[in-house]
Structure 1
C-alpha cells in the first residue's frame, strides 16, 4: 500500500461514496479518511476486516497460552490424552 494514494478527505467520501466503497473492495486496501487535515477514520473491505479480527483472536489465544505456560498452568500432553481416553470409556 502506498499511503499517499490511500488518504482522502471526508468530502470525497460524502460526494463519491459508492465509488470509494467499490475501490476499497476491489483494491482490498484500507482507505484513510481525513477531516480538517487530520486522519479520523479507516475504511476497510469486509474480508480484510474479518481477516484482521481472526488474526487478533489467534494472537490473543497465543498470548493466553504463553501466560499459562509461564505460570506453570499446563499439563503434559500424554496426561491430557490419557484423561480424555478414560472419558470416552
Structure 2
C-alpha cells in the first residue's frame, strides 16, 4: 500500500476533519498528516486500528510460544490430555 496519495498537511485536517473521518472509515487506508512538510502523525479508522491491535496481539502470542519451544518449556499433547482427563474425573 502506498501512502503517498494519503499524505495531507495538518491544515487540511483542521479544515475538513469530518470529511477526513468519513473518508478514513470508507477507504480503510491510513492518512499521514504533515506539519511544516514533515510527517508527524498517522490517522486511521477505528476498525483498522482494532484489527492492527488484534494482529499485534496474535504475533506476540506466537513469539511467546516460539520462545517457550526454544527454551524447552513444552509438554507432549498426550501428557496434557491425560492430565486434563485425570483432573476431570476427580471433580
Same fold (TM over 0.5): yes
In structure 2, the residue matched to 1:43 is 43
Shift of 1:38: 0.8
TM-score by length of 2: 0.94
TM-score by length of 1: 0.96
In structure 2, the residue matched to 1:76 is 76
In structure 2, the residue matched to 1:86 is 86
| Stretches of structure 2 lacking an aligned partner (at least 5 in a row) | none
Structure 1 stretches of 4+ moved >6 Å: none
Let me know the Cα RMSD of the aligned residues: 0.8
CA contact (8 A) 2:3 2:30 kept: no
More displaced, 14-23 or 1-10? 1-10
Describe the SS at the equivalent of 2:26. Answer: helix
* Per-residue CA distance 1:9-30 (angstroms, 9 max, x = gap): 0000111100011101100000
| Stretches of structure 1 lacking an aligned partner (at least 5 in a row) | none
Task: Number of aligned residue pairs: give it.
Answer: 89
